[in-house]
Amino acid sequence: MDELLSLVMQTARDISGQLGHTVPMGRNPNDLYAFGIGTEACEEVMIKIRSSRCTECQICMQICSWTHWNEINPKRSRIMVEADWPENPSIRVCVACKDHECVSACPTGALRWDGWVRMDAGLCDSCGACVTACPVHGVEMDPATRFPLVCDTCQGDFACITWCPTKAIERSTRP
């Protein structure tokens, strides 16, 4: 497993070096802001998604699955990058919407909001109501456990942001 993580790290360095200043800068109407709770004294922070900077390397997906499952398996990631060539890729992740529609849709009460969406596996019946209810398609079902995959901001550590070589996903405080 250390070899796989080493490979991911090297890929991130390679992509950063190859891109140089070619990463589009500036504001893009496809940019998205996702909110969560940070670790610095529980300061409210946001995940800023700039799909115009995404190269579809999927390092965010790899590191997400590594962080949560100790395996590199993008299908088990809580952030999803979808190619939409020639347009910018689509980066889908829970944006912690104001109404928490996935939580409201859960018939068993397995999901709850606590700075991010948390799941009680003992209550989840894998019905997928949360997936259907998500207005931004930021919830997927884990193919291995059949439980929902919802971004938990790595409990404030934001691994995807740390590893993104192009800064397509960044951390910043809410305006």
Q: Is the CB of residue 48 less than 8 Å from the CB of residue 170? A: yes
What's CA 126's distance to the chain center, in Å?
Answer: 20
According to DSSP, residue 39 is labeled S
Q: What percent of the chain has pLDDT over 70?
A: 71
According to DSSP, residue 58 is labeled -
- The predicted pLDDT at position 112 comes to 92
Distances from the Cα of 92 to the Cα of 3, 40, 67, angstroms? 28, 25, 18
Report pLDDT digits (tens) over 48-101. Answer: 888 889 999 999 999 999 999 999 999 999 999 998 788 888 899 988 888 889
Which of the four pLDDT bands, split at 50, 70 and 90, describes residue 175?
Answer: low
Report pLDDT digits (tens) over 152-173. Answer: 888 888 999 999 999 999 887 6
**Within the chain, where are the H helices?**
2-19, 59-69, 101-105, 129-133, 159-163
- The predicted pLDDT at position 1 comes to 53
